[in-house]
């Protein structure tokens, strides 16, 4: 790549990723008067956010007016087993309703209550009906609404500047390989166009990472090809930290049959609407798996569980609506005990409780998905489901109020790529509002930063180094194939750092990941630069390897089981371990992980809980202190 041919663009803010968090950040930064580049690996509007089915959790209280931010905050902390960064959970619970109403002002059309308000549905771990939704395609509604909001801003810019792309431009099918820094601060980003393979440099004082998750690191996943942990790896390489990388959420209900759709999600709304889980003996097994900490919230018999659907004030919830980690472990245990289907799943049945018309109305895309992909009519027969890698709780360590990445001036992160908000386990529905709340805050944080910090020119030496890295796989011959290395990595993570872990297996995984990393330095690409997936995967693989290493090393240190981290050799949750986060950083050759004390709940938030509940999670010393102030 010659210097003169390099495309260069200058903006105030770069947003990497065009899912919910990225688009919300872009809107915020533009409305603060800045110029914004939105960079995404796929076409505009295809982000994984479109897959979110169930809804967006916000305590608007439209269906049950007992709901408020404090109840939502409590549910979020419980769901995360109190490992959440309290401030993120607090901001999220407080601001979620405004973010939903704001979307409505931008044209979103949520399903309605009889009074004409935004309807809210029940979901696992949420005490009241809380999820604003549009059938079961809520994520698509979020993306379209924000995509169209961006068009609206572009039309406004067009009237003002004579060019619709004067202040916001979407760079679709463009991959970032590096966050560029000069003098210790962010100076931009370097990457390539997927279509042409040509290289591109963005110069900007602030970068917002909104790249989503890491699911493609694992064999069975609900994530698309894009979920390769790019933002996680870019942040690590830029000097930021990853927090809580041992926590992966295995969604309890992925499709298990046929094999081509293995991993694809069956929304939790199926359970929220009355779907029950049974094993091959016909037993509704979830009653056996209610953990002590949830005994007073969940029904222990079928009669009460069934009554709950019509009378939620006087009955406890059905155990199918336990947080995702509990349900995933229960299904895993049933299958392991030989009570699973021949394809390694259990049955999820909605046909017994709801009429075909109601199923098609409330769960239209699920009906569609099973009918067209699996030839199963869910109005008549049960679905076969099992756990699938769905979401990473861990991510970039950020300042909660500004979404600024700790340790890298000018870098911000929001959405799945950021860590802390969900603790050890995310509640369904909290992701979509997380995107909106922290996407907006990242946009604000970046705007504030840009006002105080000017652009930092990118040096020729930096460009040369970035360009050489992209060139490398083309100049080698006879090396490794990126597809087969990727498949081997997925096999390792799935078998050795998957849903159930032990020390020896994790150590084995760490050694094997290091070996693949060594071999990946020798990846060769066949074909040219034009839209070449083999070339693209070579770079994505590098990111997944850093993610896998961070996850394995964090998992090795945490000697307890909590949320999305289950150790066979340490099956209990330990109140001492709740006091630490694991912080992963990268020194250029390997990932190192250290423990860091978790910020203590301040008194006003501590006092929102019954002290007996806190005793299940906290040490006597912490309880005695009663909060941090």
Partner 1 sequence: MARKLNLRIWRGDSKNGELKDVQVDVNEGEVVLDVIHRVQATQMGDLAVRWNCKAGKCGSCSMEINGKPRLACMTQVASFDENETITVTPLRAFPVIKDLVTDVSFNYKKAMEIPAYEPPKDLAPGEARMEQVDVERSQEFRKCIECFLCQNTCHVIRDHEENKKSFAGPRFFIRIAELDMHPLDILKNRKRTAQEEHGLGMCNITKCCTEVCPEHIRITDNAIIPMKERVVDIKYDPSRMFAGLLKREKRD
Out of 3, 7, 155, 629, the only residue in the binding site for partner 1 (CB under 8 A) is 155
534 burial via Cβ count (<10 Å: 0-12, 13-18, 19+): middle
Options 87, 472, 531, 596; binder of partner 1; rule CB under 8 A: 531
What is the rounded CA–CA span in Å between residue 480 and residue 464?
Answer: 25
Should residue 288 be labelled a site residue for partner 1 when binding is judged by CB under 8 A?
Answer: no
Which residue from 3, 66, 107, 355 is in contact with partner 1, where contact means CB under 8 A?
A: 107
Q: Which residues pair with 516 in a beta bridge?
A: none
Cα–Cα dist 243/238, whole Å: 15
- C-alpha pair distances (Å), 497 with each of 201, 243, 247, 541, 582: 36, 17, 11, 17, 16
User: 4 Cβ partners below 8 Å, 6+ apart?
Assistant: none
If one asks whether residue 365 binds partner 1 (CB under 8 A), the answer comes out as yes
- DSSP-based three-state secondary structure for 179: strand
Which one among 154, 175, 554, 575 touches partner 1, defined by CB under 8 A? 154
Q: Specify the residue, 211 or 579, whose C-beta has the smaller distance to partner 1.
A: 211
Q: What are the beta bridge partners of residue 323?
A: none
Residue from 32, 151, 358, 600 touching partner 1 (CB under 8 A): that is: 151
Instruction: Locate 539 and state its tokens.
Output: 């770079």
Phi, psi of 585 (to 5 degrees): -135, 170
Whose tokens are 């939620």? That residue is 312
Phi, psi (rounded to 5 degrees) for 190: -120, 145
Give the count of alpha carbons within 13 A of 11, CB side only.
30
Among 148, 351, 453, 502, binds partner 1 (CB under 8 A): 148
Query: How near is the Cβ of 113 to partner 1 at its closest, in Å?
Result: 8
Return the residues of window 12-31 that contact partner 1 according to CB under 8 A. Answer: none
Q: Which of 66, 109, 521, 599 binds partner 1 (CB under 8 A)?
A: 109
Q: How far apart are CA 356 and CA 378, in angstroms?
A: 8
Min dist. Cβ of residue 299 to partner 1 (A): 30
In the range 508-527, which residues lie near partner 1 by CB under 8 A? 525-527
Ordered DSSP codes for 513-580 = HHHHHHHHTTB---S-STT-HHHHHHHHHHHHHHHHHHHHHHHHH--S-BTTB-BTTB-S--TTGGGE
Which of the stretches 147-155, 324-332, 430-438, 443-451 binds partner 1 when contact is defined by CB under 8 A?
147-155
Site membership for partner 1, residue 102 (CB under 8 A): yes
Minimum distance of partner 1 from residue 459's CB (angstroms): 33
Site map 117..136 versus partner 1, x via CB under 8 A: x-x--------------xx-
Q: Does 214 bind partner 1 (CB under 8 A)?
A: no
Name which of 466, 491, 436, 41 is nearest 228 in CA terms. 41
Q: Which stretch binds partner 1 (CB under 8 A): 113-121, 267-275, 393-401, 553-561?
A: 113-121
Region of 252-260, 294-302, 493-501, 604-612 interacting with partner 1 (CB under 8 A): 252-260
Among 74, 81, 121, 137, contact with partner 1 (rule: CB under 8 A): 137
Closer by beta carbon to partner 1, 481 or else 502: 481
Q: Residues binding partner 1: what is the number (CB under 8 A)? A: 71
Which one of residues 6, 31, 70, 98 is an interface residue with partner 1 (CB under 8 A)? 98
88-95, long-range: CB < 8 A, 24+ apart:
88/400, 88/420, 88/421, 88/438, 89/421, 89/423, 90/605, 91/400, 91/401, 91/437, 91/438, 91/441, 92/421, 92/430, 92/433, 92/434, 92/437, 92/438, 93/59, 93/69, 94/69, 95/437, 95/440
Closest distance between partner 1 and the C-beta of residue 173, in Å?
A: 9
Does 369 contact partner 1 by CB under 8 A? yes
CA atoms within 13 A on the CB side of 290: 18
Contact by Cβ (8 Å): 169, 202: no
In the β-sheet with 36-40, what is the strand arrangement from edge to edge?
168-172, 36-40, 13-16, 206-209, 411-413
Residue 433: CB minimum distance to partner 1, A:
15
Pick one of 11, 73, 110, 609: the residue that binds partner 1 (CB under 8 A): 110
User: 30, 48, 251, 567: which is the annotated catalytic residue?
Assistant: 251
Tell me whether residue 3 or residue 152 sits nearer to partner 1 (CB atom): 152
| Nearer of residues 409 and 533 to partner 1, judged by Cβ | 533
- Residue 481 found at the interface with partner 1 (CB under 8 A): yes
Whether 271 is a known active-site residue: answer yes
Q: How many CB atoms lie within 10 A of CB 268?
A: 29
Q: Is 232 a catalytic residue?
A: no
Which one, 115 or 292, has the nearer CB to partner 1? 115
Find the binding residues for partner 1 in span 395-454 (CB under 8 A).
none
d(CA 216, CA 139) in angstroms, rounded, equals 20
Nearer to partner 1, 111 or 306 (CB): 111
Q: Which is nearer to partner 1, 315 or 365 (CB)?
A: 365
Query: Judged by CB under 8 A, does residue 261 bind partner 1?
Result: yes
488 binds partner 1 (CB under 8 A): no
191-to-16, 451, 467, 614 alpha-carbon distances in Å: 11, 26, 9, 47
Q: Which stretch binds partner 1 (CB under 8 A): 18-26, 111-119, 547-555, 565-573?
A: 111-119
Residue 611 binding partner 1, by CB under 8 A? no
166 binds partner 1 (CB under 8 A): no
Residue of 92, 121, 232, 271 marked catalytic: 271
Distance CA 119, CA 117 (A): 6
Q: 562 has which bridge partners? A: 565
- Known catalytic residues? 251, 271
């Amino acid at each position: 790549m010659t210097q003169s041919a390099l495309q260069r663009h200058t903006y105030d803010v770069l947003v990497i990723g065009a899912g919910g968090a990225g688009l919300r950040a872009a809107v915020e930064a533009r409305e603060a008067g800045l110029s914004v580049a939105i960079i995404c690996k796929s076409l505009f509007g295809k982000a994984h956010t479109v897959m979110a089915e169930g809804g967006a959790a916000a305590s608007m209280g439209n269906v049950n007016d007992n709901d408020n931010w404090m109840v939502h905050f409590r549910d979020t902390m419980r769901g995360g087993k109190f490992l959440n960064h309290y401030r993120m959970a607090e901001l999220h619970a407080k601001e979620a309703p405004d973010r939903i109403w704001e979307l409505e002002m931008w044209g979103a059309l949520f399903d309605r209550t009889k009074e004409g308000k935004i309807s809210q549905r029940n979901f696992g771990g949420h005490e009241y009906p809380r999820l604003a939704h549009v059938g079961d395609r809520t994520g698509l509604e979020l993306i379209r609404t924000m995509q169209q909001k961006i068009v609206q801003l572009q039309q406004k810019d067009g009237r003002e500047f004579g060019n619709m792309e004067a202040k916001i431009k979407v760079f679709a099918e463009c991959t970032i390989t590096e966050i560029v820094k000069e003098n210790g601060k962010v100076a931009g980003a370097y990457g390539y166009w997927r279509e042409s393979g040509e290289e591109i440099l963005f110069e900007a004082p602030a970068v917002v990472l909104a790249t989503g998750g890491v699911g493609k690191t694992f064999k069975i996943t609900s994530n698309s090809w894009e979920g390769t942990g790019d933002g996680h790896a870019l942040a690590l390489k830029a000097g930021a930290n990853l927090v809580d990388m041992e926590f992966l959420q295995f969604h309890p209900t992925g499709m298990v049959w046929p094999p081509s759709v293995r991993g694809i999600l069956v929304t939790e709304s199926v359970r929220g609407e009355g779907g029950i889980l049974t094993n091959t003996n016909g037993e509704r097994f979830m009653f056996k798996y209610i953990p002590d900490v949830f005994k007073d919230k969940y029904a222990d018999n079928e009669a009460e569980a069934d009554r709950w659907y019509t009378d939620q004030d006087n009955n406890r919830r059905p155990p199918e609506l336990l947080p995702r980690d509990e349900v995933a472990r229960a299904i895993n245990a049933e299958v392991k005990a030989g009570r699973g289907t021949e394809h390694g799943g259990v049955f999820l049945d909605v046909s017994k409780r709801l009429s075909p018309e109601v199923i098609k109305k409330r769960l239209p895309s699920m009906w569609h998905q099973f009918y067209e992909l699996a030839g199963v009519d869910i109005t008549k027969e049960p679905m076969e489901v099992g756990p699938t890698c769905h979401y990473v709780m861990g991510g970039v360590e950020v300042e909660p109020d500004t979404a600024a990445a700790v340790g890298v001036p000018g870098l911000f992160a929001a959405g799945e790529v950021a860590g802390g908000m969900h603790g050890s386990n995310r509640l369904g529905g909290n992701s979509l509002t997380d995107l909106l709340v922290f996407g907006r805050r990242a946009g604000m944080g970046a705007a504030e930063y840009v006002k105080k910090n000017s652009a930092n020119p990118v040096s020729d030496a930096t460009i040369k180094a970035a360009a050489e890295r992209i060139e490398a796989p083309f100049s080698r011959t006879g090396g490794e194939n990126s597809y087969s290395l990727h498949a081997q990595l997925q096999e390792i993570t799935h078998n050795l750092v998957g849903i159930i872990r032990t020390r020896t297996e994790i150590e084995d995984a760490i050694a094997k990941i290091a070996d693949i990393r060594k071999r990946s330095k020798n990846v060769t690409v066949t074909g040219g630069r034009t839209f070449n997936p083999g070339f693209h995967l070579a770079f994505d693989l590098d990111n997944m390897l850093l993610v896998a290493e961070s996850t394995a090393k964090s998992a090795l240190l945490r000697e307890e089981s909590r949320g999305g981290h289950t150790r066979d050799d340490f099956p209990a949750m330990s109140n001492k371990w709740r006091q630490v986060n694991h912080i992963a950083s990268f020194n250029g050759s390997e990932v190192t992980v250290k423990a860091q004390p978790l910020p203590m709940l301040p008194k006003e938030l501590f006092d929102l809980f019954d002290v007996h509940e806190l005793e299940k999670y906290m040490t006597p010393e912490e309880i005695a202190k009663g909060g941090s102030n």
